[in-house]
């Protein structure tokens, strides 16, 4: 089976620009790979023509001392609706986590904040210690007298064993929401 468009037929002449194109391509590939050579290579003395070696451009070591980023701290408030014991434990641990975190400021002041509205009810009213159904709604509140703006929601079931995991999840999601809607605080 013959090809309809052969790449090169015996009667065609070699293209004079093909060698130039190959040379330019090889030069660009070499220029892209040059910064990847280590400092001890024979090419380490070559710094002219605008090429900088990766070893020369390496950043200085940063001390491993994380500091709290005060500019990113977001004011939050937790409001609980429910009378079951697991819901009260969940709200208490959530407030404790927000209070001990450098990412959040647990506050009841009249200021812009994210309100975490937590509603819980026993999963089985006859056995309230088995589990609780919960609903979490994140809203933004500019002040006490203004309308709250809906941001996100989540529903689920929590047991006594999963309270700590759920608290970590809600705190992580609150941080994500505060980053996503950070423009509301400006």
Q: What is the CATH number of domain 70-185?
A: 3.40.50.10610
Mean predicted lDDT score pLDDT of the chain:
79
Give the pLDDT score at 91. 95
Q: How confident is the model at residue 123 (pLDDT cuts 50, 70, 90)?
A: confident
Average pLDDT over residues 59-70: 60
pLDDT of res. 134 = 95
- For residue 141, pLDDT over 80 is answered with yes
Domain boundaries, the chain: 15-58, 70-185
CA distances 90 to 27, 55, 65, 109, 174, Å, are 63, 51, 32, 22, 15
The yes-or-no verdict on residue 44 having pLDDT over 60 is: no
pLDDT band at 96 (very low <50, low <70, confident <90, very high): very high
Inter-CA distances, 18 with 9, 30, 58, 111, 148, Å: 16, 18, 38, 69, 67
The top-scoring range by mean pLDDT among 2-6, 57-61, 64-68, 125-129 is: 125-129
Say what the pTM is: 0.61
């Amino acid at each position: 089976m013959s090809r309809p468009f052969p790449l090169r037929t015996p009667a065609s002449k070699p293209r004079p620009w093909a060698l130039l194109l190959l040379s330019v391509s090889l030069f660009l590939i070499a220029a892209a790979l040059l910064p990847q050579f280590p400092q001890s290579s024979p090419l380490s003395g070559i710094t002219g023509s605008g090429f900088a070696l990766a070893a020369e451009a390496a950043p200085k070591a940063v001390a491993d001392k994380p500091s709290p980023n005060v500019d990113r701290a977001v004011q939050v408030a937790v409001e609980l609706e429910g009378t079951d014991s697991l819901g009260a434990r969940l709200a208490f641990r959530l407030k404790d986590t927000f209070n001990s975190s450098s990412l959040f400021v647990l506050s009841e002041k009249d200021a812009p904040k994210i309100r975490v509205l937590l509603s819980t009810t026993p999963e089985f009213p006859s056995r309230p210690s088995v589990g609780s159904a919960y609903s979490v709604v994140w809203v933004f509140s500019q002040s006490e007298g203004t309308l709250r703006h809906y941001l996100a929601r989540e529903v689920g079931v929590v047991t006594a064993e999963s309270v700590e995991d759920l608290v970590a999840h809600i705190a992580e999601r609150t941080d994500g929401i505060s980053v996503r809607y950070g423009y509301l605080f400006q």
